[in-house]
């Protein structure tokens, strides 16, 4: 975890921060995808744990640290490719790593957005 740090975030709880500069196109975080869950297992998760589920390619992944602490932003600095967060633009040391949750969560997902960006949608949901 020398490339990133988990610490208190202004967006929500804990966040992931760059420990050095990243260039556009760099892999910032490779996800631990070893915790794939069935629909039944997802339904049995606690409310707290269920917020760490990411649904991609018909797979329900229970996100593990540090990736589980990447906060949402409507103007995210990373995007998801092959279960990795990839720099959408250059990211400076100390900057919080963010991702756009729209499209990565399961049906019925809804959350209040605290990103504070000029493009903030206020409510993020997927039907």
Nearest alpha-carbon partner for 77 in 4, 1, 13? 4
Residues 27-66 have pLDDT tens digits of 999 999 999 999 899 989 998 888 888 888 788 899 999 9
Domains of the chain: 4-125 (2.170.270.10)
Question: For residue 91, is pLDDT > 70?
Answer: yes
Q: Quote the pLDDT of residue 1.
A: 52
Higher pLDDT, 41 or 117: 41
Distance CA 84, CA 75 (A): 18
Q: Quote the pLDDT of residue 108.
A: 59
As a whole-number percent, the residues of the chain with pLDDT over 70 amount to: 91
Question: For residue 127, is pLDDT > 50?
Answer: no
CB 101 within 8 A of CB 45: no
Reported as a pLDDT band with limits 50, 70 and 90, residue 106 is: low
C-alpha distances (whole Å) from 61 to each of 2, 49, 68 are 24, 11, 10
Residue with tokens 């949750």: 101
Distance CA 9, CA 109 (A): 22
Instruction: Give the pLDDT mean for 71-76.
Output: 91
Mean pLDDT estimate for the chain: 88
Residue with tokens 């020398």: 2
Distance CA 115, CA 98 (A): 9
Q: Quote the pLDDT of residue 119.
A: 80
């Amino acid at each position: 975890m020398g490339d990133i740090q988990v610490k208190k975030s202004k967006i929500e709880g804990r966040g992931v921060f760059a420990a050095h500069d990243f260039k556009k196109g760099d892999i910032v975080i490779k996800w631990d995808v070893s915790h794939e869950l069935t629909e039944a297992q997802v339904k049995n998760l606690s409310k707290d744990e269920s917020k760490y589920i990411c649904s991609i390619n018909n797979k329900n992944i229970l996100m593990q640290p540090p990736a589980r602490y990447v906060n949402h932003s409507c103007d995210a600095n990373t995007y998801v490719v092959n279960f990795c967060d990839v720099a959408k633009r250059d990211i400076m040391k100390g900057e919080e790593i963010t991702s756009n949750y729209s499209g990565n969560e399961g049906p019925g997902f809804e959350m209040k957005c605290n990103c504070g960006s000029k493009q903030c949608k206020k409510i993020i949901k997927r039907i």
